[in-house]
Amino acid sequence: MNGKIILSTIGIMLLGSAAVFAGEAAAPQGAMSFFATSATPTGTGNLGGLAGADQICQNLAASVGAGNKTWHAYLSAQARPGVAQVNARGRIGSGPWFNQKGLMIAGGVADLHGDQQRDRNGIRQASVLDEKGAIVSPMPQQHDVMTGSDSTGRAFTDGIDHTCNNWTSDAMTTRSSFVTQ
């Protein structure tokens, strides 16, 4: 996995309750359950595996007073001999997810991934905020998002490494990294 890309790992917190998607609904203050990271901690695709990526998310959330929740990086891991495939959509709980300003991003997994209706989620440039509440706006504008997941939140099964050896390889250079809970 060579070349400059944006490593974007959008992770979402595990919430015990589900909610009906309510469009632009706001959450109570302090309900942040979704963020894009403000920094690239490693500069490569080596995030220390899924556990290391989760810890990066946890640390960034804690830096803004949101460390009292369990955060997971929105990353998939591909099957390897003796290691099962892990799908990002299965790591993130059932929703709903709110950005740092309390704007609902998605009410559930199906809304987040467009299972019934494409583009139903609230992921837009103006709503994808980092853990500090700033809009994530990479310059120059980049459109590649690297999560090791297809558009349905599942790991690729085409035999090509889409995960920098399941987030443990230094072979890839990145411009920035985004992770959430």
Give residue-wise pLDDT tens across range 58-99.
999 999 999 999 999 999 999 999 999 999 999 999 999 999
CATH of the domain at 67: 3.10.100.10
Average pLDDT, the chain: 77
pLDDT given at position 28: 57
**Does 126 have pLDDT greater than 70?**
yes
pLDDT given at position 139: 58
C-alpha distances in Å from residue 136, one per residue of 8, 127, 161, 162, 180: 11, 9, 27, 23, 13
What are the E-state strand segments in 16-125? 34-35, 97-98, 104-106
Residue labelled with tokens 């290691």: 83
pLDDT given at position 138: 62
The average pLDDT across 150-160 equals 92
**115: domain range?**
1-181
Give residue-wise pLDDT tens across range 5-48.
333 333 333 322 222 223 344 555 558 999 988 876 667 788 99
Going by C-alpha positions, the residue among 116, 122, 114, 119 that lies closest to residue 34 is 122
Phi then psi for residue 9, to 5 deg, are: -115, 95
Asked if residue 149 lies in contact with residue 86, where contact means CB atoms within 8 angstroms, the answer is no
The structural domain count of the chain equals 1
Give residue-wise pLDDT tens across range 134-153.
988 665 555 456 789 998 99
The average pLDDT across 117-145 equals 76
pLDDT given at position 26: 52
pLDDT given at position 142: 53
